[in-house]
Chain A
Amino acid sequence: MKRAVPWLLTFVAGALMINDFFVPHRTHAAITQELQQWGLIVVAFTYVLGMANVFDLHFKKIRRGSSEALYSIVLVGSMLGMAALGIFHDHQGEHSPFIWLYNTVYDPLSATMFALLAFFITSAAYRAFRARSTEAVLLLSAAILVMLGQVPVGAAIWGPDSFLGGFPGLKDWIMDVPNLAGKRAILMGAALGAISTGIRVILGLERAHLGGGK
């Protein structure tokens, strides 16, 4: 029961999904569609599980009265508040408190968090990038050309009407040719890896998600 049932569930669910591609039968399609709905529902339950875990972790911190307790109160309070507003009130209306909080708190915070990375990426690049080898020179040149091709100052120095389309043209060429070649190779390698891992999981050769072991 402890090992056989999970493996059987993995195998049946995986095999049915693969089969669905090859068996164009209405009943089969209906079963896989129903199972996919089940999958969506179970994944949605994991959010609630995550919330319970976060709540448990931070509630312990608050109870201990540690120096970080205030932050935990803010985290738990905002999580419960936002979830309650979204669940018990309108979650789509332009004037709903849920959307108001999204626009006022979530949106600026997430944008600023990612904007903050601009400073750290730049400073890390300044410290780490050294043109010591051919590979490093290629990496640096591609990065600089793409950046120059993206900004107006690049077009002002070497405009799109000049030879090779200037910095914007060169950027487009780098993105569409050598970058695409490398990206495609990575994508195809990753696809092969994902396919083989998927088959190993379905066949029960890979059981890390079940806590490992035989």
Chain B
Amino acid sequence: MDALQLWISTALTLCILSFLWKDNPLYKLAEHLFVGISAGYYIALAWQETIRPNLVEEVARGNWIRLGAAILGVLMFTRFVPKISWLSRWPLAFVVGMYAGINVIAFASGDLILQLQSTMVDVVHDGWTAVSNVILVIGLATSLIYFYFSKEQKGALGVVSRIGIFFLMISFGASFGYTVMSRMSLAIGRTRELMVSPATTGILLLAVAVFLFVWGRRQRSTGEGA
């Protein structure tokens, strides 16, 4: 990482972290920069990874049929012309239909069948593993019953469904814990980056603090912060 890179990335990190105090111009600036850079990045990728190799180079090679995709793509822009904006539904209809078809098969074979297959586990042998497997099967069955809304969940069904809720709650809690820890590890990573050059961080932190102090005072004097 060169010096300029270090200064810029440290400054941007501090601008984002300044939101912990409150929403302020430095945060907004970094936020808008982030949106702009991300959008530009994905547009460039769309060109380099998809449009150029799959359309431009293919047409240049004589694969004229690909022009059909280009025409569909261009039709997207007819939404800017009110008179013919209905044409923009054509590419949308094509893409939605295509991905609906792909997903029907992908979800059926990749998720539904595969998950069912993976739940066909040994519940007899292997001591502790068998106990865990029994709990897994009971958990899956009861959780699925919780999602069964065609019958009122009371009586025996209600009890089973309540056990399903317990499993779902553990699942939500575990996901929450995992998410918190992954965010924490990102925060630690950023802090380590800031510690690469304490002098740079110190100077920029001071500059950010001075800016926020001056801006805060100005806000108070004009009554905008109220």
For residue A96, give the distance in angstroms from its CB to the closest CB of chain B: 11
| Structural contact, A185 and B180, CB atoms closer than 8 A | no
Contact mask for chain B residues 177-215; partner A; CB cutoff 8 A; 1 contact, 0 none: 111110110110110010000000000000000000000
Given contacts A98-B44, A143-B173, contact A82 B66 (CB under 8 A): no
Q: How many A-B residue pairs have CB under 8 A?
A: 389
Interface positions of B from 155 to 184, Cβ below 8 Å from A: 164-181, 183-184
For residue B81, give the distance in angstroms from its CB to the closest CB of chain A: 13
Interface positions of B from 48 to 66, Cβ below 8 Å from A: 48, 50-51, 54-55, 65-66
Interface size class of chain B, counting residues whose CB lies under 8 Å from the partner chain = 35 or more
Residues of B within 8 A of A114 (CB): 183, 186
Contact residues of A: prevailing secondary structure: helix
Residues of B within 8 A of A21 (CB): 105, 109
Distance A78 CA – B116 CA, assembled complex (angstroms): 47
Given contacts A71-B32, A181-B139, contact A201 B100 (CB under 8 A): yes
Contact among A45, A51, A150 with B74 in the assembled complex (CB-CB below 8 Å): A45
Residues of A within 8 A of B108 (CB): 191, 195
Given contacts A105-B8, A115-B183, contact A9 B93 (CB under 8 A): yes
Given contacts A91-B44, A142-B173, contact A135 B165 (CB under 8 A): yes
Residues of B within 8 A of A184 (CB): 115, 118-119, 140, 143
Chain B residues in the interface with A (C-beta under 8 A): 1, 4-5, 8-9, 12-13, 16-17, 19-20, 28-48, 50-51, 54-55, 65-66, 68-70, 72-74, 76-77, 79-80, 86, 89-105, 107-109, 111-112, 115-116, 118-119, 132, 135-140, 143-144, 146-147, 164-181, 183-184, 186-187, 189-190, 193
